[in-house]
Homo-oligomer: A and B are copies of this chain.
Amino acid sequence: MLKRSGEFTLTHPNDLEPLFHPRSVAVVGASNDITKFGGRTYLSLKARRYRGGLYAVNPGVTEVDGDRTYARVQDIPGEVDMAIVVVAAPHVVQTVADCAEKGVRAVQILTAGFRETGSEKGVLWEEQIARIARESGIRIVGPNCFGIYSPESALTVLPGPDFPKESGPVGLLAQSGGLTSFLVRRAMGLGIRFSKAVSYGNACDLNETDYLSYFGADDQTRMVGAYIEGVRDGKRLFEVTRSTSLRKPVFIWKGGLTALGSRAVASHTASLGGSRRIWEGFLRQTGVIPVVGIDEMIDLMVGFLHLPDFRGRRISVVSGGGAITVAACDELDPAGLSMPEFSSRTRETIRALLPASGNTVGNPLDTGPPVFLLPTVKPILEAVAASDRIDAVIVQHEVGSHSPDFVEAAAQVIPSVRKASSKPFLVTMPAPTTSSDAMDVEMVRRKYREWYLERGIPVFDTLHRAVRALGAVIRYNEFLARHQS
Contact = CB atoms under 8 A, between A and B. Distances in A.
A256 B321 contact: no
B186 A112 contact: no
A436 to B, nearest CB: 4
Contacts of A338: 260
A364 B264 contact: yes
A360 B329 contact: no
Interface in A419-448: 430-439, 442-443, 446-447
Nearest to A111: B357
Pick the most buried of A188, A323, A332: most chain B CB atoms within 10 A of its CB: A323
Interface stretch (A25-33, A67-75, A171-179, A407-415): A171-179
Nearest to A176: B323
Interface stretch (A240-248, A265-273, A386-394): A265-273
Given A116-B360, A330-B255, A178 B322 contact: yes
A190 to B, nearest CB: 5
A464 interface: yes
Interface in A76-99: 88-89
A293 interface: yes
A259 interface: yes
B293 A174 contact: no
A126 interface: no
Given A320-B178, A446-B434, A261 B329 contact: yes
B430 A182 contact: yes
A2 interface: no
Given A113-B356, A323-B175, A357-B113, A333 B259 contact: yes
A188 B329 CA distance: 28
A326 B117 contact: no
A447 B436 CA distance: 6
Contacts of A47: none
B436 A269 contact: no
Interface string A245-283: 000000000011111111111011100000000000000
A481 interface: no
A449 B462 CA distance: 22
Given A258-B334, A259-B333, A321-B178, A186 B432 contact: yes
A349 B272 CA distance: 28
B434 A326 contact: no
A433 B189 contact: yes
A5 B58 CA distance: 86
A438 B368 CA distance: 34
Contacts of A323: 174-176, 178-179, 227, 229, 255, 268
Contact of A464 (B89, B265, B293, B437): B293
A468 interface: no
Given A259-B333, A261-B333, 11 more contacts: A112-B358, A178-B321, A190-B434, A256-B330, A261-B330, A268-B326, A292-B464, A294-B430, A295-B462, A435-B446, A436-B443
A258 B462 CA distance: 19
Interface string A436-472: 1111001100110110000000000010100000000
A327 interface: yes
A332 B260 contact: yes
Nearest to A268: B322
A112 B357 contact: yes
Contacts of A339: 260
A329 B364 contact: no
A225 interface: no
A267 B443 contact: no
B256 A329 contact: yes
Contacts of A262: 329
Contacts of A325: 264, 268
Contacts of A117: 357
Contact of A326 (B256, B362, B364): B256
Contact of A257 (B188, B269, B330, B366): B330
A185 interface: yes
Interface string A116-128: 1100000000000
Interface string A221-248: 0000001010000000000000000000
